[in-house]
Chains A and B, each alone.
Chain A
């Protein structure tokens, strides 16, 4: 016997599938390139996936298209419900940090969708990375729905659903090369204006520093020595600065030694602080750096970055004037 969903319920039940189409992929592409950053939204509310019955599982997601689409495309051949919270078009982990993927919104969305009328059971499966914003025991107290935290990655959901327990590996959040590669476009877009200006005025060294900080750094992150992102950035910056410094030193063998050295020094001073700053900034995109750690890094290294950059800039201007 298959129970029917009570369609007399006043709340609207949206319909979705586990298949992504060309339009979805195009939307993901635009989101990755930060086009219309906060406009990649799905309507909050309750969605039927496949042919759910009142006994089918309820999954909770954010109203960011990438979050919602990752969830539904991971649930191939699974019938269920997806409860989409209004996270203002922000992904699960970031929205949980802000509190929009949170206890109040979850309780509110359960009530407005009249979920208790739609399903027979009282269990919600939340993404594990939504846990920072949600207090599971409080949701139960307020709605009688039990919160169950699924795996960190939606792709492990089919495996999770067999036993409703996640292995320790499924509980760990990763930051793979693929994860880091997908972040590069957004990092690039965020520095596009200064990058274009630098290229227009022909200031190649700092332009290279920006490219290194936004493209090379995310790729090479785990392999650059030291723990702190700033020091990793200084190291990468020094490597990038070296050819520029050597080229500047060799460029005009006829001119004075001090002038050639000063030109080389300009690059050594200007490039590393730029990559170091961009590297430090990348902590915001990772899934493992703590806030207090980032603050300790900032206090330790930002003064050095500022001094190096300031002195390098003055030296550059100074040389131009002296000549």
Chain B
């Protein structure tokens, strides 16, 4: 059956990894694991696209399209013709 969360925008280039391990530390869903002093993307479908790994990787090895994920915010942005959704949540 169709699962909208099976895929996401997380991309990782192991060639750029120096094994600092920060991606594993910041990921709240255990997407990365350290093996032989390199990061491995072991659980990519768990990614919620928060962007923590991307913003904290000093070597640009990770790319993910993060942003406001609220359905109502996306709808509001679409209706108002805005490119980026902004949530009203506290």
Contact = CB atoms under 8 A, between A and B. Distances in A.
B1 A226 contact: yes
Contact of B56 (A89, A131, A285): A131
B80 interface: no
Contact of B3 (A31, A38, A227, A287): A227
A135 B5 contact: no
Interface string B25-59: 11111100000000000000011111110011010
Contacts of B26: 128, 131, 149
Contact of A135 (B24, B28, B55, B90): B55
A90 B9 CA distance: 26
Contact of A296 (B4, B55, B66): B4
Given A97-B50, A132-B66, A173-B29, A293 B4 contact: yes
A294 B4 contact: yes
A283 B70 contact: yes
A286 to B, nearest CB: 8
Mostly helix, strand, loop or mixed at chain A's interface?
A: helix
Contacts of B6: 227
Interface residues of B, number: 42
A218 interface: no
A86 to B, nearest CB: 14
Contact of B86 (A98, A128, A290): A98
B11 interface: no
Nearest to B55: A135
A89 B88 CA distance: 12
A103 B48 CA distance: 21
A228 interface: yes
Interface string B55-67: 1101000000111
Given A132-B55, A284-B87, A302-B75, 8 more contacts: A38-B90, A91-B90, A97-B51, A128-B26, A171-B30, A283-B71, A291-B74, A292-B9
Interface of A: 31, 34, 37-38, 40, 64, 89-91, 93-94, 96-98, 103, 128-129, 131-137, 149, 152, 166, 168, 171-173, 226-228, 280-281, 283-285, 287-298, 300, 302
28 contacts: A91-B90, A94-B87, A94-B90, A97-B51, A98-B86, A103-B55, A128-B52, A131-B26, A131-B55, A132-B51, A171-B30, A172-B30, A173-B28, A226-B1, A227-B4, A281-B70, A281-B71, A283-B69, A284-B69, A284-B72, A288-B46, A289-B48, A290-B49, A291-B65, A291-B69, A294-B69, A297-B4, A297-B71
